[in-house]
Amino acid sequence: MDSMRLRTICLAAVATMLSILPANACLNDQDTLAREARARPDALNAITGRFERNPPLYYQMRITRESAQIAVNPNDLDKYDDVAVAYDRLGDDDSAIAWIEKKRKHLPPYNAKDAVLKEQWYRYYANVGTFWMHRWAHLGADMEKKGDVKVASAFIEKAIAIKPNAHFGREKYQLLIMKWVLNPKSETLPQALAGSPPTEASTALSGLIELGGAWQSFDVYYALSEILHGDEEKTHALGTLAALRAYEIYKAGGRSLHPELIEEGTAESLQQGGYFIGDGMQDQYDRLRKEADD
Protein backbone atom coordinates (compact mmCIF):
# COMPACT_ATOMS: atom_id res chain seq x y z
CA MET A 1 0.00 0.00 0.00
CA ASP A 2 1.47 3.38 -0.98
CA SER A 3 2.05 6.02 1.71
CA MET A 4 -0.52 8.48 0.32
CA ARG A 5 -3.29 5.88 0.43
CA LEU A 6 -2.23 4.75 3.90
CA ARG A 7 -2.27 8.33 5.18
CA THR A 8 -5.75 8.88 3.72
CA ILE A 9 -7.04 5.74 5.42
CA CYS A 10 -5.47 6.73 8.74
CA LEU A 11 -6.99 10.21 8.59
CA ALA A 12 -10.40 8.79 7.77
CA ALA A 13 -10.10 6.44 10.74
CA VAL A 14 -9.26 9.34 13.06
CA ALA A 15 -12.17 11.43 11.79
CA THR A 16 -14.54 8.47 12.17
CA MET A 17 -13.32 7.76 15.68
CA LEU A 18 -13.69 11.38 16.70
CA SER A 19 -17.17 11.65 15.21
CA ILE A 20 -18.56 9.01 17.57
CA LEU A 21 -17.11 10.50 20.76
CA PRO A 22 -19.60 11.83 23.33
CA ALA A 23 -20.49 15.49 22.89
CA ASN A 24 -19.09 16.38 26.30
CA ALA A 25 -15.68 15.08 25.20
CA CYS A 26 -15.17 18.26 23.23
CA LEU A 27 -16.87 21.64 23.15
CA ASN A 28 -20.47 20.80 24.01
CA ASP A 29 -21.72 22.34 20.77
CA GLN A 30 -21.51 21.74 17.03
CA ASP A 31 -17.94 23.01 16.86
CA THR A 32 -16.59 19.53 17.47
CA LEU A 33 -13.05 18.32 17.13
CA ALA A 34 -14.20 15.85 14.49
CA ARG A 35 -15.60 18.66 12.35
CA GLU A 36 -12.47 20.74 12.79
CA ALA A 37 -10.31 17.75 11.93
CA ARG A 38 -12.16 17.31 8.64
CA ALA A 39 -11.70 21.01 7.88
CA ARG A 40 -8.02 21.13 8.88
CA PRO A 41 -6.54 17.62 8.53
CA ASP A 42 -3.07 19.11 8.04
CA ALA A 43 -3.25 20.82 11.43
CA LEU A 44 -4.51 17.69 13.20
CA ASN A 45 -1.70 15.60 11.69
CA ALA A 46 0.93 18.18 12.59
CA ILE A 47 -0.28 18.55 16.16
CA THR A 48 -0.56 14.85 16.95
CA GLY A 49 2.47 13.71 14.97
CA ARG A 50 0.53 11.68 12.43
CA PHE A 51 3.11 12.00 9.67
CA GLU A 52 6.25 10.18 8.59
CA ARG A 53 8.97 10.37 11.24
CA ASN A 54 11.50 7.87 9.98
CA PRO A 55 14.31 6.33 12.05
CA PRO A 56 17.98 7.25 11.36
CA LEU A 57 18.58 4.01 9.45
CA TYR A 58 16.06 5.12 6.81
CA TYR A 59 18.11 8.21 6.01
CA GLN A 60 21.45 6.43 6.30
CA MET A 61 20.28 3.92 3.68
CA ARG A 62 19.08 6.76 1.46
CA ILE A 63 22.48 8.45 1.66
CA THR A 64 24.26 5.24 0.69
CA ARG A 65 21.91 4.51 -2.20
CA GLU A 66 21.58 8.01 -3.65
CA SER A 67 25.25 8.98 -3.34
CA ALA A 68 26.17 5.80 -5.24
CA GLN A 69 23.82 6.86 -8.03
CA ILE A 70 25.34 10.34 -8.07
CA ALA A 71 28.76 8.79 -8.55
CA VAL A 72 27.43 7.15 -11.71
CA ASN A 73 25.53 10.22 -12.92
CA PRO A 74 26.77 13.49 -11.32
CA ASN A 75 24.17 15.50 -13.27
CA ASP A 76 21.18 13.84 -11.59
CA LEU A 77 20.30 16.99 -9.65
CA ASP A 78 17.38 15.55 -7.68
CA LYS A 79 19.69 13.05 -6.00
CA TYR A 80 21.69 15.86 -4.39
CA ASP A 81 18.51 17.12 -2.73
CA ASP A 82 17.76 13.61 -1.47
CA VAL A 83 21.21 13.15 0.07
CA ALA A 84 21.38 16.64 1.53
CA VAL A 85 17.94 16.41 3.14
CA ALA A 86 18.81 12.97 4.54
CA TYR A 87 21.85 14.44 6.25
CA ASP A 88 19.68 17.26 7.57
CA ARG A 89 17.23 14.74 9.02
CA LEU A 90 20.17 13.09 10.79
CA GLY A 91 21.18 16.44 12.28
CA ASP A 92 24.42 16.62 10.26
CA ASP A 93 24.00 20.20 9.06
CA ASP A 94 27.51 20.67 7.69
CA SER A 95 27.20 17.59 5.46
CA ALA A 96 23.75 18.73 4.33
CA ILE A 97 25.15 22.11 3.32
CA ALA A 98 28.17 20.51 1.63
CA TRP A 99 25.98 18.23 -0.48
CA ILE A 100 23.56 20.94 -1.54
CA GLU A 101 26.54 23.06 -2.60
CA LYS A 102 27.69 20.14 -4.76
CA LYS A 103 24.34 20.46 -6.49
CA ARG A 104 24.89 24.15 -7.09
CA LYS A 105 28.18 23.40 -8.86
CA HIS A 106 26.23 21.34 -11.40
CA LEU A 107 23.41 23.84 -11.86
CA PRO A 108 23.39 25.79 -15.14
CA PRO A 109 22.87 29.57 -14.80
CA TYR A 110 19.39 30.54 -13.66
CA ASN A 111 16.86 31.00 -16.46
CA ALA A 112 13.32 31.99 -15.50
CA LYS A 113 12.02 30.77 -18.87
CA ASP A 114 13.25 27.23 -18.21
CA ALA A 115 10.65 25.66 -15.91
CA VAL A 116 12.80 22.66 -14.99
CA LEU A 117 15.84 24.77 -14.20
CA LYS A 118 13.71 27.27 -12.31
CA GLU A 119 12.45 24.46 -10.07
CA GLN A 120 15.99 23.21 -9.42
CA TRP A 121 17.19 26.66 -8.37
CA TYR A 122 14.14 27.10 -6.15
CA ARG A 123 14.83 23.77 -4.44
CA TYR A 124 18.48 24.68 -3.96
CA TYR A 125 17.66 28.00 -2.26
CA ALA A 126 14.84 26.55 -0.15
CA ASN A 127 16.97 23.64 1.03
CA VAL A 128 20.19 25.49 1.72
CA GLY A 129 18.33 28.21 3.61
CA THR A 130 16.63 25.61 5.78
CA PHE A 131 19.94 23.83 6.44
CA TRP A 132 21.61 27.03 7.64
CA MET A 133 18.68 27.74 9.99
CA HIS A 134 18.82 24.22 11.38
CA ARG A 135 22.58 24.57 11.84
CA TRP A 136 22.04 27.63 14.02
CA ALA A 137 19.38 25.80 16.05
CA HIS A 138 21.51 22.69 16.52
CA LEU A 139 24.47 24.79 17.67
CA GLY A 140 22.39 26.09 20.54
CA ALA A 141 20.22 28.83 18.99
CA ASP A 142 22.49 31.48 20.49
CA MET A 143 20.63 34.79 20.28
CA GLU A 144 23.94 36.62 20.47
CA LYS A 145 25.27 34.82 17.38
CA LYS A 146 22.76 34.95 14.56
CA GLY A 147 25.03 34.94 11.52
CA ASP A 148 23.66 31.61 10.30
CA VAL A 149 20.12 32.98 10.53
CA LYS A 150 21.07 35.94 8.35
CA VAL A 151 22.56 33.58 5.77
CA ALA A 152 19.47 31.39 5.95
CA SER A 153 17.03 34.26 5.50
CA ALA A 154 18.88 35.53 2.44
CA PHE A 155 18.57 32.12 0.78
CA ILE A 156 14.88 31.76 1.68
CA GLU A 157 14.17 35.20 0.23
CA LYS A 158 15.64 34.00 -3.08
CA ALA A 159 13.51 30.85 -2.96
CA ILE A 160 10.38 32.94 -2.39
CA ALA A 161 11.32 35.26 -5.26
CA ILE A 162 11.32 32.24 -7.60
CA LYS A 163 8.17 30.54 -6.25
CA PRO A 164 6.22 32.90 -3.95
CA ASN A 165 3.42 30.46 -3.13
CA ALA A 166 5.27 27.17 -3.03
CA HIS A 167 4.03 24.68 -0.43
CA PHE A 168 1.02 26.91 0.36
CA GLY A 169 3.26 29.75 1.48
CA ARG A 170 5.44 27.70 3.80
CA GLU A 171 8.65 29.56 2.97
CA LYS A 172 6.94 32.89 3.55
CA TYR A 173 6.22 31.92 7.14
CA GLN A 174 9.65 30.37 7.48
CA LEU A 175 11.06 33.77 6.56
CA LEU A 176 8.74 35.54 9.02
CA ILE A 177 10.07 33.31 11.79
CA MET A 178 13.65 34.05 10.76
CA LYS A 179 12.97 37.78 10.81
CA TRP A 180 11.43 37.41 14.25
CA VAL A 181 14.59 35.67 15.46
CA LEU A 182 16.77 38.41 13.95
CA ASN A 183 14.67 41.25 15.38
CA PRO A 184 12.36 40.02 18.12
CA LYS A 185 11.66 43.44 19.66
CA SER A 186 9.29 42.62 22.51
CA GLU A 187 7.10 40.14 20.67
CA THR A 188 6.45 36.45 21.08
CA LEU A 189 6.11 34.49 17.84
CA PRO A 190 2.28 34.49 18.01
CA GLN A 191 2.38 38.28 18.29
CA ALA A 192 4.79 38.50 15.36
CA LEU A 193 2.40 36.47 13.21
CA ALA A 194 -0.72 38.29 14.38
CA GLY A 195 -2.88 39.42 11.48
CA SER A 196 -1.86 36.56 9.19
CA PRO A 197 -4.76 34.83 7.42
CA PRO A 198 -5.63 31.93 9.77
CA THR A 199 -6.05 29.23 7.13
CA GLU A 200 -2.88 30.21 5.31
CA ALA A 201 -0.88 30.53 8.53
CA SER A 202 -2.04 27.24 10.05
CA THR A 203 -1.39 25.40 6.78
CA ALA A 204 2.10 26.90 6.49
CA LEU A 205 3.02 26.20 10.12
CA SER A 206 1.70 22.66 9.80
CA GLY A 207 3.93 22.22 6.77
CA LEU A 208 6.94 23.49 8.70
CA ILE A 209 6.20 20.92 11.39
CA GLU A 210 5.82 18.00 8.98
CA LEU A 211 8.51 18.88 6.47
CA GLY A 212 10.63 21.64 7.95
CA GLY A 213 11.83 20.25 11.24
CA ALA A 214 9.55 22.22 13.60
CA TRP A 215 8.17 19.09 15.28
CA GLN A 216 10.04 19.99 18.48
CA SER A 217 9.50 23.77 18.30
CA PHE A 218 7.73 25.26 21.31
CA ASP A 219 7.32 28.58 19.51
CA VAL A 220 5.71 27.14 16.38
CA TYR A 221 3.11 25.16 18.35
CA TYR A 222 2.48 28.13 20.61
CA ALA A 223 1.87 30.27 17.51
CA LEU A 224 -0.27 27.57 15.88
CA SER A 225 -2.41 27.37 19.01
CA GLU A 226 -3.01 31.12 19.06
CA ILE A 227 -3.82 31.19 15.34
CA LEU A 228 -6.31 28.32 15.63
CA HIS A 229 -7.92 29.81 18.73
CA GLY A 230 -8.34 33.13 16.94
CA ASP A 231 -9.67 31.70 13.69
CA GLU A 232 -13.14 32.93 12.73
CA GLU A 233 -13.83 29.43 11.41
CA LYS A 234 -13.93 28.30 15.05
CA THR A 235 -11.01 25.90 15.29
CA HIS A 236 -10.77 26.25 19.04
CA ALA A 237 -10.54 22.53 19.72
CA LEU A 238 -7.55 22.18 17.41
CA GLY A 239 -6.08 25.25 19.09
CA THR A 240 -6.43 23.47 22.40
CA LEU A 241 -4.60 20.41 21.03
CA ALA A 242 -1.81 22.63 19.71
CA ALA A 243 -1.48 24.25 23.14
CA LEU A 244 -1.22 20.82 24.72
CA ARG A 245 1.52 19.90 22.25
CA ALA A 246 3.41 23.09 23.14
CA TYR A 247 3.11 22.17 26.80
CA GLU A 248 4.28 18.63 26.04
CA ILE A 249 7.43 20.11 24.48
CA TYR A 250 7.83 22.41 27.48
CA LYS A 251 7.60 19.49 29.91
CA ALA A 252 10.32 17.70 27.92
CA GLY A 253 12.65 20.70 28.34
CA GLY A 254 11.82 22.64 25.19
CA ARG A 255 11.69 26.40 25.56
CA SER A 256 10.97 29.47 23.47
CA LEU A 257 13.82 30.95 21.48
CA HIS A 258 13.03 34.07 23.51
CA PRO A 259 12.13 32.73 26.97
CA GLU A 260 12.37 36.22 28.44
CA LEU A 261 9.37 37.20 26.31
CA ILE A 262 7.16 34.42 27.60
CA GLU A 263 5.03 35.89 30.35
CA GLU A 264 4.79 34.16 33.70
CA GLY A 265 1.93 31.72 33.60
CA THR A 266 2.19 30.95 29.88
CA ALA A 267 3.18 27.34 30.54
CA GLU A 268 0.29 26.92 32.95
CA SER A 269 -2.06 28.42 30.37
CA LEU A 270 -0.82 25.99 27.73
CA GLN A 271 -1.27 23.14 30.17
CA GLN A 272 -4.92 24.12 30.26
CA GLY A 273 -5.14 24.09 26.48
CA GLY A 274 -4.51 27.79 25.95
CA TYR A 275 -7.95 29.20 26.67
CA PHE A 276 -9.75 26.14 27.97
CA ILE A 277 -9.20 22.43 28.35
CA GLY A 278 -12.74 21.13 27.87
CA ASP A 279 -14.04 17.85 29.22
CA GLY A 280 -11.94 14.96 27.99
CA MET A 281 -9.64 17.03 25.75
CA GLN A 282 -6.47 15.93 27.54
CA ASP A 283 -7.56 12.30 27.20
CA GLN A 284 -8.29 12.78 23.50
CA TYR A 285 -4.92 14.44 22.97
CA ASP A 286 -3.06 11.65 24.78
CA ARG A 287 -4.91 9.00 22.78
CA LEU A 288 -4.30 10.67 19.43
CA ARG A 289 -0.60 11.22 20.22
CA LYS A 290 -0.16 7.57 21.16
CA GLU A 291 -1.92 6.41 17.99
CA ALA A 292 0.26 8.69 15.89
CA ASP A 293 3.45 7.44 17.54
CA ASP A 294 2.34 3.83 17.12
What was the pLDDT predicted at 34? Answer: 65
As a whole number of angstroms, the distance between CA 134 and CA 145 comes to 14
What was the pLDDT predicted at 39? Answer: 62
What was the pLDDT predicted at 11? Answer: 43
As a whole number of angstroms, the distance between CA 145 and CA 147 comes to 6
What was the pLDDT predicted at 276? Answer: 60
What was the pLDDT predicted at 271? Answer: 77
What was the pLDDT predicted at 61? Answer: 98
What single DSSP character describes residue 252? Answer: T
What was the pLDDT predicted at 33? Answer: 58
What was the pLDDT predicted at 249? Answer: 93
Q: Could you read off the pLDDT tens digit of each residue along the chain, which spans 294 residues? A: 444 444 444 444 444 433 333 332 333 233 445 666 666 778 999 999 999 889 999 999 999 999 999 999 999 999 999 999 999 999 999 999 999 999 999 999 999 999 999 999 999 999 999 999 999 999 988 988 999 999 999 999 999 999 987 766 788 999 999 999 998 777 889 989 988 998 899 999 999 998 877 999 999 999 999 999 887 657 888 888 999 999 999 999 888 888 777 776 787 788 776 666 566 788 889 999 999 999
What was the pLDDT predicted at 85? Answer: 95
What was the pLDDT predicted at 87? Answer: 97
What was the pLDDT predicted at 133? Answer: 95
Three-state SS string over the chain comes to CCHHHHHHHHHHHHHHHHHCCCHHHCCCCCCCHHHHHHHCHHHHHHHHCCCCCCCHHHHHHHHHHHHHHHHHCCCCHHHHHHHHHHHHHCCCHHHHHHHHHHHHHHCCCCCCCCHHHHHHHHHHHHHHHHHHHHHHHHCCCCCCCCHHHHHHHHHHHHHHHHCCCHHHHHHHHHHHHHHHHHCCCCCCHHHHCCCCCHHHHHHHHHHHHHHCCHHHCHHHHHHHHHHHHCCCCCCHHHHHHHHHHHHHHHHCCCCCCCHHHCCCCHHHHHHCCCCCCCCCHHHHHHHHHHHHHC
Q: How far is CA 248 from CA 89, 204, 285, in A?
A: 22, 21, 11
